[in-house]
């Protein structure tokens, strides 16, 4: 099952609900400028290089946590490792950048020695948020994947377990959640506990919303955005907020961090929806079409339905029949669905950028660099082509 999810993802642009490179080997879109940019971008603008070392630490800590505790899971841990930590550098990157971006230090820079204990401890706590966030994310992926017997046979050969794959998925997810709980408790900040507990509830709610939609709901943009918030944006927005709270920021600043995360997440998902139709080209139907084939109706189609009510009947018929898919693509192509989805993404990306610009001024070079990196990300999420 775990293995099967990886195969499924790699052959699709998106599974319609997962965010930020959830074990997608598509990290590259956000990698050094050589990938898709002109030479005007200098390397120090690479958001990832700013936090690369810290990310390794986070990755290692995560790996140790999973591997050493539960012997049976050690084999599965390799999958966690492949599909989890390495693939998910994006989310922790945002969080670590955010941590620096708002380090309006409690001490004057001149008084702040390099080994400053207070600063180090704060940083460690913020890294903990990054770990917790990943654990919650992977746990939710594992639990979302609990399918009936028929589907769990895929990929079993590689794992060689006594337990069924779905049981392993449930147990592994529980393990990660319990570790997240303990790690959260260790921060001794009940507001942060509350924030991230709420995220778990949102993830469950979002997944349940996706699994149990009525026809009415499936065709509602409002329902879709709500579901997208729950499944995708809540985690990153609330963990950004947690970073701020741990850093002793005011409620206003914490809200700015939250708004950044939320809008970045929404922008990402919307582009994800578009790319599932277009792939790397600008034309329709070149993408993996994974969403529509799984019956997941995303923003471009929802927009198209506003222009072409007939599309609604097509959607209601479902997409088991490939002919129906083609019909839908036809309408989509005639509509401004793709463009409007892109425009909405841009709008959210801009809101995210504004949030960064609204942060209290700082003269600290690290702070300014991190903020530039965060702004950079708001551009990259919408200009990416895969």
Binding site for a second copy (CB under 8 A): 70-73, 140, 143, 146-148, 162-164, 166-167, 170-171, 173-175, 177-179, 181-182, 184-186, 188-191, 193-194, 196-201, 203-205, 207-209, 211-212
Query: Whole-number minimum distance, CB 136 to a second copy, in Å?
Result: 10
Of 199 and 301, CB closest to a second copy: 199
Of 72 and 120, CB closest to a second copy: 72
Query: Whole-number minimum distance, CB 356 to a second copy, in Å?
Result: 28
Of 28 and 186, CB closest to a second copy: 186
Of 51 and 245, CB closest to a second copy: 245
Query: Whole-number minimum distance, CB 22 to a second copy, in Å?
Result: 17
Of 34 and 185, CB closest to a second copy: 185
Query: Whole-number minimum distance, CB 121 to a second copy, in Å?
Result: 16
Of 199 and 254, CB closest to a second copy: 199
Of 144 and 259, CB closest to a second copy: 144
Query: Whole-number minimum distance, CB 231 to a second copy, in Å?
Result: 12
Q: Secondary structure of the chain in the HEC alphabet?
A: CHHHHHHHHHCCCCCCCCCCCCCCCCHHHHCCHHHCCCCCCCHHHCHHHHHHHHHHHHHHHHHHHHHHHCCCHHHHHHHHHHHHHHHHCHHHHHHHHHHHHCCCCCCCCCCCCCCCHHHHHHHHHHHHHHHHHHHHHHHHHHHHCCCCHHHHCCCHHHHCCCCCHHHHHHHHHHHHHHHHHHHHHHCCCHHHHHHHHHHHHHHHHHHHHHHCCCHHHHCCHHHHHHHHHHHHHHHHHHHHHHHHHHCCCCHHHHHHHHHHHHHHHHHHHHHHHHHHHHCCCCCCCCCCCHHHHCCCCCHHHHHHHHHCCHHHHHHHHCCCCHHHHHHHHHHHHHCCHHHHHHHHHHHHHHHHHHHHHCCCCCCCHHHHHHHHHHHHHHHHHHHCCC
Query: Whole-number minimum distance, CB 209 to a second copy, in Å?
Result: 6
Tell me if 236 sits within 8 A of 19, measured CB to CB: yes
Query: Whole-number minimum distance, CB 190 to a second copy, in Å?
Result: 4
Of 47 and 206, CB closest to a second copy: 206
Query: Whole-number minimum distance, CB 140 to a second copy, in Å?
Result: 8
């Amino acid at each position: 099952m775990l293995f099967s999810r990886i195969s499924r993802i790699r052959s699709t642009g998106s599974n319609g609900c997962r965010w930020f490179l959830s074990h997608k080997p598509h990290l590259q879109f956000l990698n050094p400028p050589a990938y898709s940019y002109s030479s005007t971008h200098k390397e120090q603008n690479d958001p990832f290089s700013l936090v690369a070392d810290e990310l390794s630490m986070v990755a290692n800590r995560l790996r140790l946590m999973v591997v050493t505790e539960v012997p049976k899971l050690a084999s599965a841990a390799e999958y966690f490792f492949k599909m989890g930590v390495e693939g998910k550098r994006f989310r922790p990157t945002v969080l670590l950048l955010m941590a620096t971006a708002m380090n309006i230090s409690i001490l004057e820079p001149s008084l702040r020695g390099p080994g400053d204990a207070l600063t180090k401890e704060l940083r460690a706590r913020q890294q903990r948020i990054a770990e917790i966030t990943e654990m919650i994310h992977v746990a939710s992926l594992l639990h979302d994947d609990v399918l009936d017997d028929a589907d769990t046979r895929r990929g079993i050969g590689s794992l060689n377990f006594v337990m069924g794959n779905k049981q392993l998925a449930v147990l592994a997810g529980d393990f990660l959640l319990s570790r997240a709980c303990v790690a959260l408790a260790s921060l001794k900040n009940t507001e942060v506990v509350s924030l991230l507990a709420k995220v778990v509830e949102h993830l469950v709610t979002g997944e349940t919303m996706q699994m149990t939609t009525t026809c009415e709901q499936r065709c509602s943009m409002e329902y879709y955005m709500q579901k997208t918030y729950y499944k995708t944006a809540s985690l990153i927005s609330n963990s950004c907020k947690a970073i701020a709270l741990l850093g002793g920021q005011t409620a206003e600043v914490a809200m700015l961090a939250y708004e950044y995360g939320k809008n970045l997440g929404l922008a990402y998902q919307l582009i994800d929806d578009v790319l599932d139709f277009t792939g790397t080209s600008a034309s329709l139907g070149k993408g993996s079409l994974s969403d529509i084939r799984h019956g997941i109706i995303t923003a471009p189609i929802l927009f198209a339905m506003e222009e072409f009510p007939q599309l609604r009947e097509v959607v209601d018929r479902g997409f088991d029949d490939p002919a129906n898919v083609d019909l839908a693509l036809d309408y989509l192509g005639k509509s401004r669905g793709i463009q409007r989805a892109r425009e909405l993404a841009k709008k959210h990306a801009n809101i995210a950028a504004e949030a960064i610009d609204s942060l209290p001024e700082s003269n600290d070079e690290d702070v300014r660099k991190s903020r530039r990196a965060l702004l950079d990300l708001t551009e990259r999420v919408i200009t990416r082509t895969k």
